[in-house]
Structure 1
Amino acid sequence: MNADDLLLLVTRQMPFGKYQGRLIADLPGHYLAWFAREGFPKGEIGRLLQLAFELDHNGLSSLLDPLRKR
């Protein structure tokens, strides 16, 4: 993980799918869990989705709150 990835979670929007246009940090846990089961996409989006899943799954999503206020 790159430290800049945390900032990208609160600024990058989901580019496709049911939640297209929603910030990656705001994606629901069940959607992230679906990717964890089925496979994350390749590239930056996949890396960010995997990080968002790990934060959500481990109850650490509040770590992003200070970054949202920037």
Structure 2
Amino acid sequence: MQPEDLQRLVDMEMPFGKYQGRRLVDLPGHYLGWFAREGFPRGELGRLLALMYEIDHNDLRSLLLPLRRRS
């Protein structure tokens, strides 16, 4: 993980699926859990979704609040 990855979670939108257009930070936990079970996409998106899953799973979403306020 790079420090700028946290800002990417706040800025980047989901490019496909049921939650297309929603920022990664706003994806629901059950959706992230589905990816964790079924497999994350390849590349940067998959890496960021896995990071967001870990943040959500460990109840650390509040750590992203300061970054949301800057956006």
Query: TM-score with structure 2 length normalisation?
Result: 0.97
SS of residue paired to 1:69? helix
Alignment length, in residue pairs? 70
Q: By percentage of residues, which structure has more helix?
A: 2
Q: How does 1:3-18 map to 2 (within 5 A)?
A: 3-18=3-18
CA–CA distance in structure 2, aligned partners of residues 52 and 16 of structure 1:
16
Is residue 69 of structure 1 aligned with residue 69 of structure 2?
yes
CA–CA distance in structure 2, aligned partners of residues 15 and 6 of structure 1:
18
C-alpha deviations, 1:36-65, integer Å up to 9, x for none? 000000001001100000000000010000
CA–CA distance in structure 2, aligned partners of residues 25 and 51 of structure 1:
10
RMSD: 0.3
Corresponding residue of 2:58:
58
Q: Which runs of 4+ in 1 moved over 4 A?
A: none
Unaligned runs of 5+ in 1: none
SS of residue paired to 1:10? helix
CA–CA distance in structure 1, aligned partners of residues 20 and 37 of structure 2:
20
Unaligned runs of 5+ in 2: none
